[in-house]
Amino acid sequence: MPGLNPQQREAIHYLDGPLLVLAGAGSGKTRVITEKIAYLVRDCGLEPRNVAAITFTNKAAKEMQERVGRLLSRSTAEEMQISTFHSLGVRILREDAGLLGYKPRFSIFDAADCAGIVGDIAGTIDKGTLRHLQAIISNWKNALVTPETAGRRATNELEARAAQAYLSYEATLKAYQAMDFDDLIGLPVKLFNEHPRIAEKWQNRLRYLLVDEYQDTNGGQYQLLKLLTGVRSRFTAVGDDDQAIYGWRGADIGNLKRLPAEFPALKVIKLEQNYRSTARILKAANSVIAHNEKLFDKRLWSELGHGDQITVTACKDNEAEAEGVAMKLQAHRFEHRGKFRDYAILYRSNHQARLLETQLRNQKIPYVLSGGQSFFDKTEIKDITSYLRLLANADDDPAFIRAATTPRRGIGAATLQVLGQYAGERHVSLFRAASEEGFAHRVQARQTEPLLAFCQFIGRLRQRAGREPAQQVLPDLLKAIDYEAHLRDHDDDRTAQTRWGNVCEFAEWLNRKGEEGGKTLIDLTQSIALINLLDKQDSDDMDAVQLSTLHAAKGLEYRHVFLVGVEEGILPHRESLDPVKLEEERRLMYVGITRAQRSLHLSYCERRKRAREFIPGEPSRFIAEMGKEDIRFSGGKQAAEPDKAAGSARLGALKAMLAGNKR
């Protein structure tokens, strides 16, 4: 293992008990995890199928698997359980959820499906209210709080409303033979607690666990890990308390505190050498995070040299800030002969991107916006996916409604309303209710005919989808529903062509996945809900500036970082000023600083336009916490004497660039 420092080697070789690796930003934690996986298989004799590595995103899991494949072999890496928490949960539940009363082909509902159910139960269509209700229910589920307990814990009217909805929501999901994403963690925990022999089976199967980004685990994930490791406690948890920034979505930094208490034999190894950033950047990061109470003392250091000064620019307003960032980025790139992909512009909230996008387009700077619409969130893809979901689970009511009405086939809203009422009375799915005589007596024959024809079509297709290759069944489905004609009937030619192109791309992707793994359409459908983007949509190879929120940027790195809107009310956010939330905001600032490898540029506005008025602004307290020694201020009260030489150089570079000078 050449190129590893002593602490990294120790973390890889330690197998005498539970291990916590405190891995600072840029300290090579992914390499430690992948090298340890290889060590377990190659040197310690563990079978690949007995090793599990768990992380939080599909992208991270894919990268980890590719790295392990290069260290061992691709086939060996594919034998391992290298996945997200939710993918592991699906694997467990597909095999054993029958003990909880579920079919193996249960559905996984996305946020939109769940919002529809919660909205029906709570009697609201207001998106803001629905968002709050869903968030409250999700946090309860992540913390393994039951609906009954939630009712007792409710402290205000909104929580009381959420608790009422929670009980019915859970019953509805179960009736639909469906789960939401939170269930993919909570139900395996329930399964293991109620059926210890099943827990033991999985403990014997997954003999060593490695957990990435441990500081981001919630209560449910922590319990799942405990149950999976069992009394042997053979695991390595890798995390950083200074990068715990997801408390708002249920992550519990207390899980780090619990480890030494619940695992007395726990060994702690710190990775403090940073391989990413210059000394100045790390000094600023260390200075900021030192203002937080520390779970574990840790101080990053680097051998990459002192590096450039950090710049802090005071801007007249947010329009001037966006324009200034675009111009400064262009000049910096020209001066350093860089590529656009070397640059990232980071911000606290999504709304800050709009003005930045405008200025980048004006300057003809290519960019990629992180957190845009997922391919699977496109209307046309959700339409087709509804058919696939129905093939996998005929009891999936939201999928039934969408598929039955898209394209239109003479099944009206009145018919579906009667069907829904009848299905509710009978406690059966819409699909099953449609073929019962009791329903036929409630509507006219002309109403039942298209409904029965649809159900028969789905029934025939289900038989094929479970045994024939995906590449044989899917084209027949698309042809039978004539989806291309549906698009041309409802959109202009250009839009219809684009949307049909997306459907064809989706079909090609499914066919390719089916051919690679010899999978049926139903096999593929069961994993679609856990996929965020098509393989080809990875934008890493594009020469474009990355625009991203600070939350989405965690785990990434860029040669040059522009961090905008570093002012009070934004970073830290005006709703996060109590001591606990303020510490998380400071960690968010720390994450932003440590994304930078070679240069870091901060900006704030002296006034910011909100709606039609300007609100006075002041620099974030975090700027002062960075110290002044390694920072060059420009504009505003903190500015030093203007750097005329630097200004002239930048102006000259811009003029040369605009003149097309290719020195």
| pLDDT tens per residue, range 106-154 | 888 888 788 888 988 888 878 888 889 999 999 999 999 999 999 888 8
**For the purposes of burial, counting CB atoms within 10 Å of the CB of 207, is it exposed (0-12), middle (13-18) or buried (19 or more)?**
middle
pLDDT score, position 642: 41
pLDDT score, position 29: 92
Pick the catalytic residue: 177, 217, 243, 546?
243
For 557, the token pair is: 């790195």
| Residue 266 main-chain phi, psi, to 5 deg | -60, 130
SS3 345: strand
pLDDT score, position 381: 87
Position of tokens 């097309």? 660
92 or 505: which carries more pLDDT confidence?
Answer: 92
For 539-584, the pLDDT digits (tens) are 456 889 999 999 999 989 999 999 999 999 999 999 998 888 999 9
Q: What DSSP designation does 80 have?
A: S
**What is the mean predicted confidence (pLDDT) over 339-363?**
91
For 623, the token pair is: 């700027």
Pick the catalytic residue: 30, 146, 471, 638?
30
Whether the per-residue pLDDT at 518 is higher than 80: the answer is no
**What is the mean predicted confidence (pLDDT) over 329-334?**
94
Q: Cα-Cα-Cα-Cα dihedral of 164, 170, 175, 178, to 10°? A: 140
Instruction: Report d(CA 600, CA 559) in Å as an integer.
Output: 9
For 450-459, the pLDDT digits (tens) are 999 999 999 9
Position of tokens 């909230």? 349
Position of tokens 């020209």? 334
Pick the catalytic residue: 180, 212, 396, 567?
212
Say if residues 425 and 504 touch (Cβ distance below 8 Å). Answer: no
Instruction: Report d(CA 53, CA 62) in Å as an integer.
Output: 11
Residue partners of 566: CB distance under 8 A and separation at least 6: 312, 589, 602, 603, 604, 619, 620, 622, 623
State the alpha helices, DSSP H only, in 239-378: 254-262, 279-289, 318-336, 353-362
Query: Which strand (E) or helix (H) includes residue 223?
Result: helix 219-229
Residue partners of 372: CB distance under 8 A and separation at least 6: none
pLDDT score, position 645: 45
**Sign of the CA dihedral 381, 387, 391, 393?**
positive
Please give the share of the chain, as a percent, with pLDDT higher than 90. 55
- Residue 243 annotated to the active site: yes
- Residue 29 annotated to the active site: yes
SS3 446: helix
Amino acid at 114: C
SS3 94: helix
Pick the catalytic residue: 7, 29, 341, 385?
29
Pick the catalytic residue: 213, 242, 567, 583?
213
Confidence of residue 465 (pLDDT cuts 50, 70, 90): confident
Whether the per-residue pLDDT at 287 is higher than 80: the answer is yes
65 or 467: which carries more pLDDT confidence?
Answer: 65
**For the purposes of burial, counting CB atoms within 10 Å of the CB of 16, is it exposed (0-12), middle (13-18) or buried (19 or more)?**
exposed
**For the purposes of burial, counting CB atoms within 10 Å of the CB of 336, is it exposed (0-12), middle (13-18) or buried (19 or more)?**
middle
pLDDT score, position 519: 77
pLDDT score, position 371: 61
pLDDT score, position 526: 65
pLDDT score, position 534: 34
pLDDT score, position 223: 95
For 435, the token pair is: 């073929």
Query: Which strand (E) or helix (H) includes residue 338?
Result: none
CA count, 13 A, side-chain hemisphere, 163: 16
For 604-655, the pLDDT digits (tens) are 999 998 877 888 999 999 999 999 888 999 886 554 444 444 455 555 555 5
Residue 575 CA: distances (Å) to CA of 156, 250, 578, 607: 18, 17, 8, 19
468 or 145: which carries more pLDDT confidence?
Answer: 145
Instruction: Report d(CA 153, CA 252) in Å as an integer.
Output: 18
Whether the per-residue pLDDT at 505 is higher than 90: the answer is no
Instruction: Report d(CA 533, CA 376) in Å as an integer.
Output: 7
Pick the catalytic residue: 234, 283, 595, 598?
595
- Residue 557 annotated to the active site: no
pLDDT score, position 514: 77
pLDDT score, position 648: 52
Whether the per-residue pLDDT at 320 is higher than 90: the answer is yes
Confidence of residue 529 (pLDDT cuts 50, 70, 90): low
Say if residues 388 and 521 touch (Cβ distance below 8 Å). Answer: yes
For 402, the token pair is: 């969408």
For 373-427, the pLDDT digits (tens) are 566 778 898 899 899 888 888 888 888 988 998 898 888 878 888 888 888 788 8
- Residue 212 annotated to the active site: yes
For 11-58, the pLDDT digits (tens) are 999 999 999 999 999 999 999 999 999 999 999 999 999 999 999 888
Say if residues 382 and 376 touch (Cβ distance below 8 Å). Answer: yes
| Residue 627 main-chain phi, psi, to 5 deg | 85, 165
- Residue 213 annotated to the active site: yes
Residue partners of 218: CB distance under 8 A and separation at least 6: 142, 143, 185, 250, 251, 252, 255
Angle at 622 between CA 621 and CA 627, to 5 degrees: 105
Angle at 276 between CA 270 and CA 278, to 5 degrees: 105
Say if residues 38 and 71 touch (Cβ distance below 8 Å). Answer: yes
pLDDT score, position 509: 80
Amino acid at 191: L
pLDDT score, position 663: 43
CA 232 to chain centre: 31
For 327, the token pair is: 């111009």
**For the purposes of burial, counting CB atoms within 10 Å of the CB of 470, is it exposed (0-12), middle (13-18) or buried (19 or more)?**
buried
pLDDT score, position 532: 37
Say if residues 337 and 652 touch (Cβ distance below 8 Å). Answer: no
Amino acid at 355: L
Return the number of other C-beta atoms located less than 10 Å from residue 177's C-beta.
Answer: 19
Confidence of residue 221 (pLDDT cuts 50, 70, 90): very high
Query: What's the chain's Rg over C-alpha atoms?
Result: 27
545-549 and 607-610: which strand pairing? Answer: unpaired
pLDDT score, position 662: 44
CA count, 13 A, side-chain hemisphere, 255: 29
- What's the helix, strand, coil split of the chain in %, to 5? 60, 15, 30
Please give the share of the chain, as a percent, with pLDDT higher than 70. 92
Of 270, 312, 215, 298, which is closest to residue 623 (Cα–Cα)? 312
pLDDT score, position 641: 42
Instruction: Report d(CA 449, CA 429) in Å as an integer.
Output: 18
